[in-house]
Amino acid sequence: MNTRFLFIVFLLFTSVSCFSRQVRISGVVTDTDGTPLELAVVRIEKSTAGAFTDEKGRYALHVPASDSCVLVFSCLGYNKTKRIVPTAAGDMTINVRMRRMDFVLDAVTVTSRQPSGTMEIIPTDRNRLNVDATGGSVESIVITAGMGVSSTNELSAQYSVRGGNYNENLVYVNGIEVYRPILIRSGQQEGLSFINPDLTAEVSFSSGGFEARYGDKMSSVLDVTYKKPDRFEGGVAGSMLGGNVYLGNSAGKFTQITGFRYKRGTTLLNMLDTKGDYDPTAIDMQTYMTYALAPQFSLSFLGNYSDNTYDFNPTNRETSFGTMDEPKKFTVYYDGAERDRFKTLFGAATLKYELAEHADIAVQASAFQLTEQENYDIAGEYWLSNSLPEDDKEVIGTGRFLNHARNYLETNVMSIAVNGGAGFNQHTVRWSLAYQREKNRDRIKEWELRDSSGYSLPRDEDELRVYSNLSSKNNIVSGRFSGYLQDTYRFRVRDGLFSITAGIRGSYWNFNREFIFSPRASIRFIPSRNENFIFRLATGIYYQTPFYKEFRTVVQDSLGNGYVEPNRNIKSQRSVHFVLGGDYKFKFDGRPFKMKTELYYKKMDDLVPYTVNNVRIDYSGENSSYGYATGIDMKLFGQFIPGTDSWLGFSLMKARQYIGGKKIPMPTDQLYNFTFYFTDYAPYVPDRRVQLNLRMIWAGGFPFSVPGGQYKYIQSIRTRPYNRVDIGMSYRLSDENNFPANGGSFWQNFKNVWIGADVFNLFDIGNVSSYSWFADTGGIMYAVPDRLTGRQLNIKLVAEF
């Protein structure tokens, strides 16, 4: 009796144990390149049980030991993967590599995977063949692939986003904010942008509604991470615009990647209306090094030196403008020269400690120095005439001018920050505390003298007066304290996957004794019924904390002389973002496509009115307006031609501001913007050795105003639309598997070798960057267009090893 009872108890215990016993399955989910995938979903088929991967692609979940099951691996932007798990007696490790469903080009790769919020990841490891007049910058990819991004100057890497100007865009490299030169007034002075595309591992971009961990600006954020090589790599490229070379390697605990760039844009600038001796030269050297001090300690350093000089000796200019009924011609003969120099020194060191598997803390220190010099003395004599046959030509205005400048600006920014994060359950928490010290030292002295028909402008019977005069002598030192706290919470319900990111950012600036607080939040949802859809909603308060240019006011004396004074009562401009968007992935004729759409509204207060002239932004220095920007952005990515990927985008926008009770367009108001990037391979050529690229921008004009006076910030006139088509063709001379037989072992040293030709501005359209104003004999002012570059051929060679 007792034996039978004990046997029954044993059977019951064994059954319960077998039923309740769990097996732990863990592993790592990566893409085909071995990069860990964050936020991938691992679940049991026909069940709601599952787990998410962390930032290192790791996952773990438990299944009953007595049953076989099927694990389903899914991640936005990747093909779904399944693994059959047989009946197991113990814990198991299953590692999975997922294949992208994104759009891979030899020019650029755009992936739809979004780690959180509104950030879009745009890998740029294949952009070396991109057709681009700036020489292959990261910004040129953002202009074509980013939502709501606009650029209407091929000589500049600057861009505007959803009604914001160039200064409203945040740019980070390895978590450090970088700055653009301040005194630059035209695209031909700009040289190279800070970001080196050869060193870039990952680019994240958001057009609005971005997270609290990013700083205080009103429009967008571009977050760049440099490579950490695990093997030897390198490349060299050269073209008629310049050249670049980079090398990277890993040796034990040490890694480094170093790049050198050289740009000389003489061939492009010779296409401008103003003729002369152009001698622009820009060099840039950057290095990123890491060293593992211990298993949990790491040290990294990012350094940069750039030197951009612009020498120009103008000779003459001839510009035709007006209408068919009233054609005009503007002719100038110059004397004098311009000598500009813009130098950057940058260094940042980071010491990071891994507290635990999902927790870290880091100390980051950086120093940034910009030294800018602008010197010119240019005299000119001009004729304004009706553009008629020579015998009937009528001169309607003549005059002389003399432009003088001795401008110097030195900007030093030093910062130290402590940041960290931790992951637990389904939360990822990030935080930071930082202090930044800024020092601006300027010595500005510039004036313009005009003489029209024998009279100095403005005319004064008693004394000689100049047309414009500005001087400044300021030494401004200030400090900023800032910090943020942010949490990302991911969870799955029956209806789908949610990712919620919420945080708050605060800062204090002792220059104007202002505290600002910025709450921000976003939510993303992927429905279970159809994971080809993704929906997102983001909102938040975004401040534009004043930097050097925003808080300068110009005070004029009775003679019209202007003096720059800092406005210590300046406030941060504010923008409240509302962004609603969605993505849809689908196939058409067996080819993958993705449609991306976003609606947005930005309510803006305490705005500082400004004007835009070429790439120079002049602020009023006072919070005297408010406004809004609203619109819709749409982009379609896909294989328009089988086996190749392209995209097109279309945006509609309305941006208005109120000044003195009057509603006017903002200087960056652009009604429409159409972009098209197309790639193809030449038919009948084996191994896709011939690649074709086409880049097109068709955009509306921007408002501008008459310079000076009470209407300076009232933009009532529009530039003509910006229309441009660039096309390029590249031929692959060799790759790892195919190389010329007569080259011996030489070609075997290279991964890829390409030779190509680009035609910039294929249709030779006379786009306009800005306008110069001149008067006729009756005092009527004429806006003479300052046109951009015409058609230009560029030859290039690219090699990777």
- The amino acid at residue 357 is E
674 touches 722 (CB < 8 A):
no
- The residue among 446, 442, 447 whose CA lies nearest residue 473 is 442
Is pLDDT above 80 for 776? no
Is pLDDT above 60 for 456? no
Please state, rounded to an integer, the average pLDDT across all residues of the chain: 84
Is pLDDT above 70 for 452? no
Grade residue 741 by pLDDT with cuts at 50, 70 and 90: low
State the Cα torsion 26-32-37-43 to the nearest 10°.
-50
Q: Distance from CA of residue 430 to its chain's centroid?
A: 23
Q: From residue 219, give the alpha-carbon distance in Å to each of 204, 373, 518, 670.
A: 15, 29, 14, 15
Is pLDDT above 80 for 726? yes
Tokens representing 245? 């070379």
Residue 577 and residue 727: Cα distance in Å, rounded? 36
Q: How high is the pLDDT of residue 244? A: 93
For residue range 304-345, what is the model confidence (pLDDT) as tens digits? 999 999 999 999 998 888 877 788 888 999 999 999 999 999
Q: Is the peptide bond before 458 cis (omega within 30 degrees of 0)?
A: yes
Residue 603 and residue 326: Cα distance in Å, rounded? 42
CA atoms within 13 A on the CB side of 676: 12
Residue 672 and residue 718: Cα distance in Å, rounded? 13
Angle at 548 between CA 542 and CA 549, to 5 degrees: 85
Q: How high is the pLDDT of residue 532? A: 87
Is pLDDT above 80 for 124? no
Residue 747 and residue 791: Cα distance in Å, rounded? 34
- The residue among 216, 225, 159 whose CA lies nearest residue 193 is 159
Most distant CA pair in the chain: distance in Å? 131
Tokens representing 156? 């500049």
Q: How high is the pLDDT of residue 39? A: 74
Is pLDDT above 80 for 133? yes
- The residue among 542, 604, 631 whose CA lies nearest residue 150 is 631
Tokens representing 173? 């490299």
CA atoms within 13 A on the CB side of 542: 30
Residues linked to residue 535 through DSSP beta bridges, in sequence order: 525, 582
Q: In degrees rounded to 5, what are phi and psi of residue 163? A: 85, 0
Is pLDDT above 60 for 635? yes
Grade residue 631 by pLDDT with cuts at 50, 70 and 90: very high
Residue 153 and residue 704: Cα distance in Å, rounded? 15
**Which region among 120-124, 381-385, 615-619 has the lowest average model confidence (pLDDT)?**
120-124
Helices then strands, counting H and E runs in the chain, come out as 3, 49
Q: From residue 89, give the alpha-carbon distance in Å to each of 13, 69, 72, 95, 357.
A: 18, 14, 21, 19, 27
For residue range 526-576, what is the model confidence (pLDDT) as tens digits? 898 888 899 999 999 999 999 888 888 888 877 778 888 899 999 999 999
Residue 101 and residue 583: Cα distance in Å, rounded? 14
Helix (H, G, I), strand (E, B) or coil at 389: coil
681 touches 644 (CB < 8 A):
yes
DSSP per-residue codes, 404-438 = EEEEEEEEEEEEEEEEEEEEETTEEEEEEEEEEEE
Residue 474 and residue 411: Cα distance in Å, rounded? 12
- The amino acid at residue 54 is D
Q: How high is the pLDDT of residue 309? A: 92
Per DSSP bridges, beta strands 562-566 and 468-493 are parallel
Helix (H, G, I), strand (E, B) or coil at 527: strand
Q: Distance from CA of residue 150 to its chain's centroid?
A: 11
